[in-house]
Structure 1
Amino acid sequence: MLDNEIVKRVNTALAAEFELDIEDMVPEASFKDDLGLDSLDAVDMVIVLEQEFGFKIGKDSKILEIRKLADLYTYVIDKRNLLVE
């Protein structure tokens, strides 16, 4: 799966789950300030991503470092690359 396909799937899944405008789903968007998501939404986000991509996130400490969509894209791309290897 190509990186741009992952970005599109992340955007589509999150926009549907949280009723976000796809136009707002840009790499520099902050979950809290730009998208209006909070820590409770983060739990739902983990579930959505696990279902969308078929991998476990669980209590991965790297997830705590994610603040912007770009961070999330990188996380998901890295996670998928590990599974493919």
Structure 2
Amino acid sequence: MEREKIVAIVNDFLISEFEVDGDEINNEANFKKTLGLDSLDYIDLVVVIESNFGVKLGEADFKNIITFEDFYSTIENKITEKNA
């Protein structure tokens, strides 16, 4: 899957499902601060990612995510690993 498509899908569900202001989403923005997710939101986020991309992110994956760029890269890498 192309990176641009991943970014578009992710941004769409963050805006619609998590009510994030689209203007706040950019590659260098702090992922956790921008989203302000609680533990239940992270579960919802994992479910949405799995349903959209067929990959599952775990707690260890989120520890390495600082920016939205990191988040997109993590999803892209999981998709690549799955398809390898």
Query: What TM-score range do you get, normalising by the shorter chain?
Result: 0.7 to 0.9
Which structure has the highest helix share of the two?
2
Report the residue type matching 2:64 in the other structure. Answer: E
Residues 17, 60 of structure 1: alpha-carbon distance in 2 compared, 3 angstrom cutoff: same
8 Å CA contact 2:28–2:68 kept in 1: the answer is yes
Identity of aligned residues (%): 38
TM-score by length of 1: 0.80
Report the residue type matching 2:83 in the other structure. Answer: V
Deviates more, 1:11-20 or 1:29-38: 29-38
Alpha-carbon distance, 1:77 to partner: 0.6
Between the aligned partners of 2:51 and 2:70, the Cα distance in structure 1 is 19
Equivalent residue number for residue 44 of structure 1: 44
Aligned length: 84
Query: Structure 2: which 5+ runs fail to align?
Result: none
TM-score by length of 2: 0.81
